[in-house]
C-alpha cells in the first residue's frame, strides 16, 4: 500500500542514558519541522577481494549502520521569558547548554563536555523509524522578509522500522507563530560595530558528528566545532567601514542580531569575536551588495555563538 507523506510526525526527546530509549510521546515531544529528510539506514560494507581466474564482484560483507535525519525549525521563543522553547532539546543535542533564568531568559551556549543526545521517532503513515543516541550539527539562517530558521542534521543509532500506527494526541501548542525578518521585527544587526543593512545571515556551527563502530564500542561522537558563516549586506562607503583594511588586519569584533518583539518572543544571536575573511560584490534590486565570509572564534571559551531567548 502506498504511504502518504502528509501522514508524518517527528518526535524528539532528550535521552539522559546512552543506549536507553526515553520513549517520546506525541503529546509531549512533537516537533514542528519543515524540509524533513530521513535516511533510516546508512550502511557500511567491507568488500571481498580474493584472487579468482575470472571477472566479477565477490560480494560485500555488512559492517554496521547508522541513521541520518535533517530538517528545519522556525526560530521563535516560547512566549514566556525564562521558559525554554519547545525545540530546546534539539539545541541541546548540538553541544549547546541550556541556562534558564526564571521570567528573564533561556540561553543556549556552546559546550565541549557533558554533551547530550536525543531520541527521534519518525512516523510515516503506519511505519515507525527510531533513532537513538542522536547528536547534531546546526545552522542558523536569517533572511530579509523570510522566517528565521535553524537547520539541523542528526546522526544516531539505527533501529529496524516497525509497522506502527500514527499516535494520537499530537500537540504543537508549544511552538509559537514566527514573524519574518525585516526593519520592524529585526531592529538590531551589527557587525564590527556597524549597523548593517542586511539581506541574509548564515551561521553554521559546523559540529563534527561521527558514527564510530569499533571492537567493543559503538558510539555517536561530537568531537569538534568550527563555526563559520556569511553575511549579505548593502555596500557602503569606505568612511563607514573599510572592509578591505579589516580583512587584511584580521580584526576580531562582535556580531549581534536581535529579532522579535515582546517579552518571550525575542531571540538574540551574539558572537564576541568574528573575523571577516573576504568579500565579493553583487547586486539585489539594483543595489550594490557585499557578500562576506565569516569565521567565529571563542572569547573566554565555549561562547563563540550564543542564542538567547528573552
Residues 146-155 have a mean pLDDT of: 98
Residue 310 in domain: no
Q: For residue 71, what pLDDT band results from cuts at 50, 70 and 90?
A: very high
Whole-number Å distance between alpha carbons of 240 and 194 = 8
On the 0-12 / 13-18 / 19+ scale of CB atoms within 10 A, 153 is middle
Residue 267 in domain: yes
Residue 306: half-sphere exposure toward Cβ, Cα within 13 Å: 23
Measured over the CA atoms of residue 13, residue 113, residue 297 and residue 224, the dihedral's sign is negative
Residue 261 in domain: yes
Residue 71 in domain: yes
Give residue-wise pLDDT tens across range 176-197. Answer: 999 999 999 999 999 999 999 9
Residues 249-276 have a mean pLDDT of: 98
Average pLDDT, the chain: 97
Give residue-wise pLDDT tens across range 205-219. Answer: 999 999 999 999 999
Q: For residue 233, what pLDDT band results from cuts at 50, 70 and 90?
A: very high
Residue 51 in domain: no
Residues 232-252 have a mean pLDDT of: 96
Residues 24-40 have a mean pLDDT of: 98
Question: Which residue range is the domain that position 129 belongs to?
Answer: 8-43+64-301
Residue 171 in domain: yes
**pTM for the whole structure:** 0.96
Q: For residue 1, what pLDDT band results from cuts at 50, 70 and 90?
A: confident
Residues 55-77 have a mean pLDDT of: 96
Residue 2 in domain: no
Residue 104 in domain: yes
pLDDT over 90 (residue 3): no
Residues 266-287 have a mean pLDDT of: 96
Q: Determine how many CB atoms are found less than 10 A away from the CB of residue 7.
A: 13
Domains held by the chain: number: 1
Amino acid at each position: 500500500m502506498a504511504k502518504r507523506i502528509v501522514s508524518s510526525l517527528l518526535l524528539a526527546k532528550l535521552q539522559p542514558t546512552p543506549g536507553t530509549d526515553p520513549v517520546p510521546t506525541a503529546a509531549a515531544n512533537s516537533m514542528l519541522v519543515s524540509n524533513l529528510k530521513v535516511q533510516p539506514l546508512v550502511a557500511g560494507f567491507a568488500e571481498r577481494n580474493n584472487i579468482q581466474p575470472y571477472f566479477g564482484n565477490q560480494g560485500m560483507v555488512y559492517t554496521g549502520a547508522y541513521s541520518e535525519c535533517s530538517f528545519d525549525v522556525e526560530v521563535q521563543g516560547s512566549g514566556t521569558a525564562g521558559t525554554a522553547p519547545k525545540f530546546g532539546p534539539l539545541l541541546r543535542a548540538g553541544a549547546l547548554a541550556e541556562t534558564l533564568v526564571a521570567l528573564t531568559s533561556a540561553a543556549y551556549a556552546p559546550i565541549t563536555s557533558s554533551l547530550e543526545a536525543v531520541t527521534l521517532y519518525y512516523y510515516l503513515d503506519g511505519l515507525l523509524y527510531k533513532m537513538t543516541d542522536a547528536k547534531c550539527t546546526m545552522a542558523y539562517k536569517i533572511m530579509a522578509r523570510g522566517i528565521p530558521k535553524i537547520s539541523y542534521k542528526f546522526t544516531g543509532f539505527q533501529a529496524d522500522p516497525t509497522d506502527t500506527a500514527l499516535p494520537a494526541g499530537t500537540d504543537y501548542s508549544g511552538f509559537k507563530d514566527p514573524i519574518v525578518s525585516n526593519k520592524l521585527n529585526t531592529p538590531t544587526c551589527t557587525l564590527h560595530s556597524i549597523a548593517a543593512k542586511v539581506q541574509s545571515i548564515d551561521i553554521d556551527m559546523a559540529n563534527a558528528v561521527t558514527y564510530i563502530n569499533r571492537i567493543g564500542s559503538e558510539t555517536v561522537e561530537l568531537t569538534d566545532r568550527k563555526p563559520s558563516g556569511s553575511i549579505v549586506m548593502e555596500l557602503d562607503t569606505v568612511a563607514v567601514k573599510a572592509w578591505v583594511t579589516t580583512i587584511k588586519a584580521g580584526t576580531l569584533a562582535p556580531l549581534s542580531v536581535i529579532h522579535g518583539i515582546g517579552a518571550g518572543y525575542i531571540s538574540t544571536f551574539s558572537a564576541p569575536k568574528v573575523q571577516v575573511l573576504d568579500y565579493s560584490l553583487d547586486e539585489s534590486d539594483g543595489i550594490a551588495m557585499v557578500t562576506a565570509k565569516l569565521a567565529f572564534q571563542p572569547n573566554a571559551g565555549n561562547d563563540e555563538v550564543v542564542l538567547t531567548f528573552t
